[in-house]
Amino acid sequence: TAREPVLIFLFGATGDLARRKLYSALYRLYTRDQEFAVIGLARRTHTDETYRDLINDSLPSEVGQRKHFLERFYYRRLDITRPESFASLSTFCEELDARYHLHGNRIFYLSLAPCFFAEAAKQLKKSGLAETKGWKRLVIEKPFGHNKESSKELNDSLLHAFNENEIYRIDHYLGKEMVQNIEVLRFANPIFEAIWNRRYISNVQITLSETLGVGDRANYYDQTGALLDMVQNHIMQLLTLVAMEPPVRLETNDVRYEKVKVLKAVRPMNIHNVTEQIVRGQYSRGIDANRERLRGYLDENNIRSDSETETFVAAQFMIDNYRWQGVPFYIRTGKRMSEKATQIVIQFKKLPKNPYFHNVNHVGPNLLVIYISPDEGLSLKLNVKETGETGNTIPISMKFRNNALAMENMQDAYERLIADCIKGDSTNFTRWDEVAYSWEIVDSIVDSWKKRHVPVDYYEAGSMGPVSADELLEKNGHHWWPLM
């Protein structure tokens, strides 16, 4: 589908996300002939010139042709709570529409503190900005509520101004190359689809590990924690992509329908299984790979010294459907771990009978590894004959891996997602019912943690998490495969 010209209202234009991700994504779209103009909106005072300087500073240094790109950006000061702020934009946006031939197409991108999402949508409706002769779309960043109830309230307020099919809820993991490749890997390769089930798969392991600590996001993070920050959205999305049934067609709603079915089948936690199936961790003092000392979470700036917020979660999810009965989906994510990596390991079942018992090497299981970041690729671990006459088997890995350098020239997640939004393709955004079911799972965990007063297990900063995260798998005779 062609990408049409568009006027983008960027709320939170001076914020962290805009500077880290959005301007460079827009720059790359610009170099690929996307027609657009942007009205940057925030509370601070800026002129168009100082705003353009800020954008300029946030672009990578090697970027050329900046002048024409920057000229499409305009700044207006905006106070979300004041209707006059919105009203004053209407003549200006008509002007930009005409100047850049944007056909009245509008994207309202809310890169704001979540407490302003509902108000922004309300004011967009009231001011008439959301009434346009072209199409209109609302892009909304996470977190989408803090439990099912609040997310429903937020959703209801968005629905006063936009239809569900105009709402693009961002989960930036869905914009990652290898996340989008999971579907192709599964559904374009019959050899995998044939064995993608409980008969052949022993367990699935999803790791999203980070080396950074809480950084300067203490206010947000201490109230949120790893479960809400990473599991409710990114991890649940990866899990559904691995577990879903083949969609009838690769159309937006067919794909999302299959994803929702997985979320519906995830077994909720309760006070009986929550301590057996989930680990809450928090980092304490430690050292990093360069032997530099790392502070513990409780010593970080602006963190309460008695904070019980988890910075790590490991869990065993069970999916109660025909395909996955009895197959554990292990997930883990945390701050201040030893490596920054996102990877999924599919571990296949053992040999039904081992004819290689005389082997000096242990015959390991077949593993399919999906590397999502920092490298992108796949590997398949197989056993082959050792060269010579020993009669032994040895493991080999068949790999397809893009190195980080090659990837820099490729699209990044935000660029892909903004391009999809301009095309009107919401497949890689989360539909309301996905959000709601995912909250149901997470609410069941929060609830059970509260009722059982589950404390955090400490892990050293720079490690792969608390010992209890290893024990979680050992109980089933499994272990975490090291990041590969």
Q: How far is the CB of 341 from ligand BG6 (least distance, A)?
A: 9
246 cis-preceded (ω within 30 degrees of 0):
no
- Which position among 234, 272, 358, 453 bears the catalytic label? 234
470 annotated among ligand-binding-site residues: no
Closer residue to ligand BG6, CB minimum distance, 18 or 89: 18
The least CB distance from residue 170 to ligand BG6, in Å, is 9
Going from the C-alpha of 211 to that of each of 287, 288, 336, 337, the distances in angstroms are: 11, 8, 4, 5
Beta strands 278-284 and 312-317 are antiparallel
- Cβ atoms of 6 and 422 closer than 8 Å: yes
Minimum Å distance from CB 311 to ligand BG6?
10
Q: Are strands 341-348 and 367-373 parallel, antiparallel or unpaired?
A: antiparallel
Long-range contacts of the stretch 62-70 (C-beta < 8 A, 24+): 63/24, 63/27, 65/31, 69/27, 69/30
Closest contact distance (angstroms) between CB of 181 and ligand BG6 is 16
For residue 276, the minimal CB distance to ligand BG6 (Å) is 27
Q: Give 10's strand partners.
A: 40, 109
CA atoms within 13 A on the CB side of 390: 13
216 is in an annotated binding site: no
Given the complex with ligand BG6, which of 204 and 230 has the nearer CB atom?
A: 230
475 is in an annotated binding site: no
Does 170 belong to an annotated binding site? no
* In the complex, residue closest to ligand BG6 by CB: 229
Q: What is the 3-state secondary structure (H, E, C) of 196-234?
A: CCCCCEEEEEEEEECCCCCCCCHHHHHHHHHHHHHHHHH
For the CB of residue 55, give the shortest distance to ligand BG6 in the complex, in Å. 21
Q: Which is nearer to ligand BG6, 282 or 366 (CB)?
A: 282
- Residues in contact with ligand BG6 by the rule CB under 6 A: 210, 229, 342
Nearer to ligand BG6, 97 or 210 (CB): 210
Q: What is the CA radius of gyration of the chain?
A: 24
What is the dihedral sign for C-alpha 469, 470, 476, 481? positive
Is 12 labelled a binding residue?
yes
Nearest C-alpha neighbor of 279 from the set 32, 470, 51, 57? 470
Report helix angle 432-452 to 236-243, nearest 10: 120
Query: Which amino acid belongs to residue 358?
Result: H
Name the residue nearer to ligand BG6 (CB basis): 213 or 466: 213
Q: List beta partners, residue 110.
A: 11, 140
Q: Answer yes or no: is 106 a known binding residue.
A: no
* Measured distance CA(384)–CA(391) in Å, rounded: 10
Is the CB of 276 or the CB of 288 nearer to ligand BG6?
288
The answer on whether 261 is annotated among ligand-binding residues is: no
CA distance 183 to 471: 31
Residue appearing with tokens 């720079």: 462
80 in a labelled binding site: yes
CB of 146 to ligand BG6, least distance (A): 13
Residue whose CB is less far from ligand BG6, 229 or 310 = 229
Q: 148: annotated binding-site residue?
A: no
DSSP readout, 263-297? HHHBPPP-TTTHHHHEEEEEEESEE-TT--EE--G
The Cα–Cα gap between 480 and 400 comes to: 22
Residue 68 annotated among the catalytic residues of the structure: no
Q: Tell me which residue has tokens 């705003």.
A: 51
User: Which residues carry out catalysis?
Assistant: 234
Give the residue numbers of the binding site for substrate.
172, 176, 210, 229, 335, 340
Known binding-site residues equal 12-19, 43, 79-80, 142, 172, 176, 210, 229, 335, 340
